[in-house]
Chain A
Amino acid sequence: MGLKPKIVEKVLSNLLKRPFTEQYPFEKPVIPDGFRGVMKLDVDKCIGCGLCSRDCPSGAIEMKKYEHANRSVPVFHLYRCTFCYQCADSCPVKAISMTPVYELSTPDPFKLILEPKPEEVKPRPRGVRK
């Protein structure tokens, strides 16, 4: 009485199977295409329009001025990021792309600032549109 045989059958058969739970650090989950992980900025494509920064719902993108190159480039503060990818949607030149990287835990919040190095930011050639 009580439990239905069907469910008992299922429970017993599950005893013989391996656990359904993923054994995380040893066994990495399968990441589908289009997973929204850490974003990647193509500095050479960026035109510095600032639309990503304006549309970001959590204020995670700051436009940083690089004086030597005379242009602004977005800096991502990942500790504020909600990974909605509105920035990639808004980008008119598709300079922001997604990567399947999701392991972001760190004791140092400064590591979560994605900032291009000054030598990566080159001056944009004048009068040339990509």
Chain B
Amino acid sequence: MSIIELIFGPQHPALHEPEMFRFHVDGEKVIEAIPRIGYVHRGIEKLFEQKTHVQNIYLSERICGICNVAHTLTYVNVIERAGDIDVPPRAKYLRVIVAELNRLHSHMLLLGAVAELMGFTTLFMLIWRDREKIMDLVELITGNRVISAYNTIGGVRRDIDSDKADKIRKVLLKVEEEWKEYKKTWMEDPTITRRTMGVGILKPRDALKYCVVGPVLRGSGVKSDVRKDDPYEVYGDIPFNVVTYDTCDSWARYMVRVDEILESINIILYALDNLPQGEIRRPLVRRLPEAEAFAKTEAPRGELVYHLYSKGGFKPYRLKVRTPTFANILGATIMFKGERIADIPVILGSIDPCFACEDRHTIVDLRSGKSFMLSSREITRKFSRGSKP
């Protein structure tokens, strides 16, 4: 039988984001997968160079809406390293709490969406109902459900009191109880196990060769987690396990996330119990010296890397961002080999793709005659260089 090229996407190959894959298929079997990335390129790295360090905090969290706390955390880490700014211990604990809440909601979002991909809508509804409780907690602490704008240079922006801490504890214990039930479902229910077990194998050797990160790497049995290997904030003081599964299939990658939710709940509860007293932020530093800095954190999807080069002043000279999906996408092409077409969404879902953070975006310009959409300051700035308004 001849080999056919099957085009998958660019409209939502698995989750709701545009990316295209070209699959060479022989009948039902996938022989080769070629990703074509860049549909949602926004030019954010260039935009970083034109905004000040303070404005860039809010730009960095718009790289990825789902893991926004991980992005701001890495960004403020890289600024603090470049500017040699120390952070109060209470702020470090608060950062960990919000980052872990972010991980909870991100993993729940994926596991729910994947349950729906597999046709298990009941589980999808139940998981997303619990996710809503986590989002309410994030809103309680930070003031917004998704884009939290919580971390800032030299600390965090809001404090929590004992009432809020009690509420967080209460909700988390409830979610933990429910989540143990869902874990049983993920482990035993044939709707899930028959779709995922033995599907999309990524051997540890391949995982290391293609440099995959995060839950994808841990699903291949490699014990690697930035929180443990190179602790940032206060992860060094908090006891937690690095979850690994060694069946190397899609099921293992989902189970890593299921278990990480339970670990994250424990981390938050520990951090709440050991929250030190004191101030939560240092005075804002707007100007950086000439410096180069590097920071990495464990985002929900894996290792997130920021590299800053500052030539002094208010703006960065260059800021490079490496998001986890960019590292995982090559590993995914290995997983597809030899699988059936019907398994493609489940395998792609198992790397938790976030294409919008992989292709960084540009802002939309509203210059088409609608001058009221620009402030007068910006109009002056745009049209003052020779051309007539």
Contact = CB atoms under 8 A, between A and B. Distances in A.
A83 interface: yes
A107 interface: no
Contacts of B123: 7
Interface string A1-43: 1111011001100000000100000000000101110000000
Given A10-B126, A90-B284, A57 B59 contact: yes
Tell me whether chain A's interface is mostly helix, strand or loop, or mixed.
loop
A6 B52 contact: no
In this complex, which of B126, B144, B189, B375 has the most chain A Cβ atoms within 10 angstroms of its Cβ? B375
A94 to B, nearest CB: 14
Contacts of A56: 55
B55 A57 contact: yes
Contacts of A7: 122-123, 126, 181, 185, 189
Interface string B155-190: 001100000000000000000000001001100111
Contacts of B375: 59-62, 77, 80
Interface string A66-90: 0000000000010110111110011
Given A11-B122, A84-B58, A84-B149, A2 B143 contact: no
A89 B143 CA distance: 14
A2 B54 contact: no
B377 interface: yes
Contact of A6 (B54, B149, B184, B284): B184
Contact of A34 (B54, B122, B129, B158): B158
B188 A4 contact: yes
A110 B57 CA distance: 28
B139 A89 contact: no
Given A4-B184, A86-B58, A36 B143 contact: yes
A4 B189 contact: yes
A90 B58 CA distance: 14
Contact of B139 (A35, A60, A84): A35
B: interface residue count bin:
35 or more
Interface residues of A, number: 37
A110 B139 contact: no
A85 B144 CA distance: 11
Interface in B121-170: 122-123, 126, 129, 132, 136, 139-140, 143-144, 147, 149, 152, 157-158
A55 B54 contact: yes
Contacts of B56: 57
Interface in A75-126: 77, 79-80, 82-86, 89-90, 98, 109-110
B51 A57 contact: yes
A34 to B, nearest CB: 5
B143 A55 contact: no
B139 A32 contact: yes
Contacts of B58: 57-58, 82, 84, 86
A55 B139 contact: no
Contacts of B191: 2-3
A55 B372 contact: no
B152 A110 contact: no
Interface of A: 1-4, 6-7, 10-11, 20, 32, 34-36, 53-63, 77, 79-80, 82-86, 89-90, 98, 109-110
19 contacts: A2-B190, A2-B191, A4-B184, A4-B188, A6-B184, A7-B122, A7-B189, A10-B126, A10-B181, A32-B139, A36-B144, A56-B55, A59-B375, A59-B378, A62-B377, A82-B58, A82-B147, A89-B152, A109-B372
Given A7-B181, A32-B143, A35-B139, 9 more contacts: A20-B132, A32-B136, A34-B143, A36-B143, A55-B55, A59-B377, A59-B378, A61-B375, A82-B58
